[in-house]
Structures are given as structure tokens and as C-alpha cells.
Amino acid sequence: MSDREDAGEVIFEIVRIGDVQRVAAIDAATGVEVVIQAPANAALADVRALALRKLERALAGDEGDESTPPPRPGKLV
């Protein structure tokens, strides 16, 4: 738990689906969950570190406002 001072327990769930592994990181205190996908042959330490960084960003509130979609070409119907 690199940058968080109040780093609590993080639960990792890793499921292999064919040539891909699905890695979920869940903050035990808040229940916030993030998911990443990585190649099945990726190192366990690397995918856990990536999922942890994504979870830290989510807990810091850097994921953006989910109520408004990101700007894209086209129109929202």
C-alpha cells in the first residue's frame, strides 16, 4: 500500500478466464472495488500492483464524476 497513509486491508480476487486473468481489488473498509484484466501469463506481483494503484485512485476520487459521460464525438440519445 504505497501512497495511502491509512492503508487498510485490500482483498484481491484473481480469476483466470482463458488467456486472460480478471483481477479485482476490494478495499475492506469501504467496499470499493476495481477490476482490471491482464494476460494470463502476466506476473502476479505486477497485476496486483496495477490493481492496487487503480484502487488507490478510486479511493482518492480521481476517477471523475460518473453522472456525466466523458466528452466523445457523436450525440447522447
Residues of the chain under the 50 pLDDT cut: 1-5
Would you say residue 22 lies in a domain? yes
Q: How far apart are CA 19 and CA 72, in angstroms?
A: 31
What is the number of structural domains in the chain? 1
Would you say residue 50 lies in a domain? yes
- The number of CA neighbours under 13 Å toward the Cβ of 57 is 11
Domain ranges, residue 53: 10-60
Q: How far apart are CA 55 and CA 28, in angstroms?
A: 11
Would you say residue 74 lies in a domain? no
User: What confidence score (pLDDT) does residue 65 get?
Assistant: 55
User: What confidence score (pLDDT) does residue 9 get?
Assistant: 94
User: What confidence score (pLDDT) does residue 66 get?
Assistant: 58
Would you say residue 36 lies in a domain? yes
Would you say residue 75 lies in a domain? no
Would you say residue 72 lies in a domain? no
User: What confidence score (pLDDT) does residue 64 get?
Assistant: 55
Bridge partners, residue 15, by sequence: 22
Mean pLDDT across the chain: 84
- Cell digits for 56? 488507490
User: What confidence score (pLDDT) does residue 26 get?
Assistant: 96
User: What confidence score (pLDDT) does residue 8 get?
Assistant: 84
